């Protein structure tokens, strides 16, 4: 599994370290930073592959049914270029809304995976940590 040396920036590594600490505290887990860096890299690969596929004019993604439609020749070319493309031949990325929130830094508003309604709202993770650890500080 890829580790933190493969993560794309120092800020992302620091965010992963922080998130690992928060998850381990709140959920009483024992995830490692290195394992979470590997997970981040896999999620980024899914996000980038699916985003590329749905940006292509030869493909149609039905967001509400989460189905993919494209000519066979298109899929053959994509299978050669992207190892993950085969995963999307019939169905879209089920976690695309969450992946967009992670990699585009925005939180969806409203129902469904529509591109409408996205903004740059930031989730206040510090407030979560303060709430969960507030009783220990007293």
Between the CA of residue 137 and those of 49, 131, 132, 134, what are the distances in Å?
A: 44, 11, 10, 6
Q: How many CB atoms lie within 10 A of CB 17?
A: 14
Kindly state the tokens that stand for 27: 């959920």
Share of the chain above pLDDT 70, in %: 68
- What letter does residue 66 receive in the DSSP assignment? T
- For residue 55, the enclosing domain spans 4-137
Domain count, the chain: 1
Is the per-residue pLDDT at 1 higher than 80?
no
Quick: pLDDT tens for 75-98: 999 999 999 999 999 999 999 988
- pTM greater than 0.75: no
pLDDT attached to residue 101: 84
Mean pLDDT of the 115-119 span: 41
The three-state secondary structure class of 84 is coil
Q: Report helix angle 33-55 to 10-27, nearest 10.
A: 120
């Amino acid at each position: 599994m890829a580790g933190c040396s493969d993560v794309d920036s120092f800020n992302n590594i620091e965010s992963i370290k922080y998130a690992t600490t928060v998850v381990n505290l709140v959920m009483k887990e024992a995830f490692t930073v290195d394992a979470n860096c590997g997970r981040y890299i896999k999620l980024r690969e899914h996000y980038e592959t699916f985003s590329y596929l749905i940006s292509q004019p030869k493909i149609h993604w039905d967001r509400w049914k989460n189905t993919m439609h494209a000519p066979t020749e298109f899929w053959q070319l994509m299978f050669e270029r992207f190892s993950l493309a085969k995963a999307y031949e019939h169905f879209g990325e089920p976690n695309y809304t969450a992946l967009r929130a992670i990699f585009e830094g925005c939180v969806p508003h409203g129902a469904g995976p529509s591109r409408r309604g996205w903004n740059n709202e930031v989730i206040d993770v510090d407030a979560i940590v303060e709430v969960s650890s507030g009783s220990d500080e007293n």
